[in-house]
């Protein structure tokens, strides 16, 4: 069994079926014209069909061992850091917040603290000047 194909196939087949079912609940078209549910159902049917083929291929395929990602811990930590940065978006102190976020990220990726903080601060100021002062995009 090829794990990645099997998981992707199953997830997308479920999504395709979901589109078909939800599309049926949308208002139908009048006078033979397609309604709001026509495209969701058509795309859902196509997706379910193709996903079923991928699922079968995954189930029948030769095993390539369990699905794993190298350096998964680092990727997960960076993703969590990004989530935290996003949750704090708009809470003020854009330059400071961005510089701290970037410095933490760089140090997690093995960079030394002081150069990382210097680069992160310069980058945050540059982005602020370019977008807020230059392009009138409010960054707070």
Enumerate residues 6+ apart whose C-beta is below 8 A from 71.
none
Contact 76, 16 (CB under 8 A): no
Q: Which of residues 72-91 bind another protein (CB under 8 A)?
A: 72, 74-75, 78-79, 82-83, 85-86, 89-90
Minimal distance, residue 124 CB to another protein, in Å: 7
- The site for another protein, by CB under 8 A, has a size of 61
Binding flag, residue 105, another protein (CB under 8 A): yes
Structure tokens that stand for 45 in this block? 């049917």
Q: What are phi and psi of 32, to 5 degrees?
A: 80, 0
Please identify which residue in 17, 20, 100, 119 interacts with another protein, judged by CB under 8 A: 119
Binders in 14-43 for another protein, by CB under 8 A: 15-16, 19, 22, 26-27, 31-36, 38-40, 43
Near another protein by CB under 8 A: residue from 24, 80, 96, 109: 109
DSSP labels for 47-75? Answer: HHHHHHHHHHHHHHSPP--S---TTHHHH
Residues with Cβ within 8 Å of residue 4, at least 6 apart in sequence? 58, 67
Q: Smallest distance from the beta carbon of 19 to another protein, in angstroms?
A: 6
How far apart are alpha carbons 64 and 3 in whole angstroms? 8
Tokens describing residue 46: 């196509």
Give least dist CB 126 to another protein, A. Answer: 9
Q: Decide if 26 contacts 40 (C-beta within 8 A).
A: yes
CA distance 36 to 27: 6
55-74: which residues touch another protein (CB under 8 A)?
57, 67, 69-72, 74
The reply on whether position 8 binds another protein by CB under 8 A is yes
| Interface positions with another protein (CB under 8 A) | 4-5, 8, 12, 15-16, 19, 22, 26-27, 31-36, 38-40, 43-44, 46-47, 50-51, 53-54, 57, 67, 69-72, 74-75, 78-79, 82-83, 85-86, 89-90, 98, 102, 105-106, 109-111, 119-120, 123-124, 127, 131, 135-139
């Amino acid at each position: 069994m090829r794990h990645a194909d099997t998981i992707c196939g199953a997830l997308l087949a479920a999504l395709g079926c979901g589109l078909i079912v939800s599309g049926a609940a949308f208002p139908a078209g009048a006078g033979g014209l397609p309604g709001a549910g026509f495209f969701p159902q058509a795309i859902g049917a196509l997706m379910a069909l193709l996903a079923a083929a991928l699922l079968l291929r995954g189930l029948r395929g030769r095993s390539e061992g369990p699905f794993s990602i190298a350096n998964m811990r680092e990727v997960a930590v960076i993703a969590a850091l990004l989530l935290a940065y996003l949750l704090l978006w708009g809470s003020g102190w854009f330059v400071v917040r961005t510089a701290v976020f970037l410095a933490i990220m760089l140090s997690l990726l093995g960079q030394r603290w002081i150069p990382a903080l210097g680069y992160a601060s310069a980058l945050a100021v540059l982005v602020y000047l370019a977008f807020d002062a230059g392009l009138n995009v409010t960054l707070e």
